Structure 1
């Protein structure tokens, strides 16, 4: 099972959308405090819709708590400062992929210590970053693609004569 890690997320709607994506993909969500919102806010539940109750989510008091409780996992770290892009790495089936808070990303001292696991989404020019929910979806679906979308429904069904 893949793992998405949000380090100090600030915007409840982003976290709600990411939670919904995690439910749709069978991915665990890890939230590292401080959070910029309360988990019972309407905006999280609205963005996550009725899927929030099905979400495998764990909250941690800080980064050290997360590291300890998950046996010090090696995390890929999404950042605009990375030298390699997200499609240049091979994701294990239980990979952890970390994203920083919307206003500042993952602190640079953490990135420097984990430079070989830093990944980026290519962008044009001076664009600072993509929306956090979009970034999670892009990288998560690459990891899932590498695993042949194991366990996910890949084929939809059109219903003739519905019009």
Structure 2
């Protein structure tokens, strides 16, 4: 394997790239930071427009995206890559893409709703699980963590580019769930809630997961089409991480739908 051909590096471009670790600069520029081979490949495969990208000077082609990316990569050293990357250990490659337009319309038979989710690692995990288990749309309420947070992209292994993701107000979510006739299954710690294995996921349904501390908002739990859902567990365990509990429920939904 031979290293990628070096290109001249503009110092201001590197500073602008590093700034994309902050949401306000992503919002201002319409650009997003994508780190690592696989996430870059997924963004490119999804048709996002590549603005520019960097590789480490000692990177070989087997650690770089398996795609004919244009424009060509800019070659940088470890110190420069570390300044731009959001990780402690700099990745072999890092790219800047134009962010895709924000969508706000629910669609599909199986929808995952994330109500005020705050942790980027949890969001990335759930996006990855949603892709694995056949979710059509992932819907986030407007006060949830931003989907283009680099930690979300990394935790999702690039699946954030492969799924339909929408962001909408809680009011719009409530109205669209009603208008489209979704059966809603909302997770809760209520002792009388429905066992998640007894729910029927074969029709058009929305699985709702809530904020890490507060859970699902009261207005969604009170929705006329909503059913409270719980995962039975040993008494010594008070609760599960939302990424784990959501993945368990999505796996059950996928199994039911595969057998229908």
TM-score above 0.5, yes or no: yes
Give the alignment partner of residue 127 of structure 1, picking from 237, 249, 257. Answer: 237
Give the secondary-structure state (helix, strand or coil) at the position aligned to 1:147: helix
- Structure 1 position 29 matched with structure 2 position 29: no
The residue matched to 2:158 in structure 1 has which SS? Answer: helix
Deviation by residue 1:85-112 (Cα, 9 ceiling, x = unmatched): 1011212342111011111101346435
Q: CA deviation at 1:55?
A: 1.4
Contact 2:184–2:225, Cα closer than 8 Å, also in 1: no
Distance 2:259 2:165 in 1: 21
| Contact 2:123–2:152 (Cα < 8 Å) also in 1 | yes
State how many pairs are aligned: 148
Q: Which one of 249, 252, 255 corresponds to residue 139 of structure 1?
A: 249
- Closer, same or farther: CA 79–58 of 1 in aligned 2, 3 Å: same
Whole-Å separation in 1 of the counterparts to 2:134 and 2:251: 12
Kept in 2, the 8 Å contact 1:82–1:118? The answer is no
Cα separation, 2, equivalents of 1:22 and 1:116: 20
Equivalent in the alignment of 1:69? 176
TM-score normalised by length of structure 1: 0.80
CA RMSD of aligned residues (A): 2.2
The structure number with the bigger radius of gyration is 2
- What is the deviation of 1:140? 1.0
- For the residues of structure 2 that align with 1:18 and 1:123, how far apart are their CA atoms? 20
Q: TM-score scaled to structure 2, two decimals?
A: 0.52
Report if the CA contact (8 A) 2:113-2:206 is conserved: yes
Distance 1:21 1:30, change over 3 A: same
Cα distance, 1:75–1:82 mapped onto 2, change above 3 Å: farther
Measured in 1, the distance between the counterparts of 2:222 and 2:173 equals 19
Aligned CA distance change for structure 1 residues 114 and 77 (closer, same or farther; 3 Å):
farther
Higher relative contact order (CA 8 A, sep 6+): 1
**1:155 corresponds to which residue?**
none
Which ranges of structure 2 fall in alignment gaps of 5 or more residues? Answer: 1-108
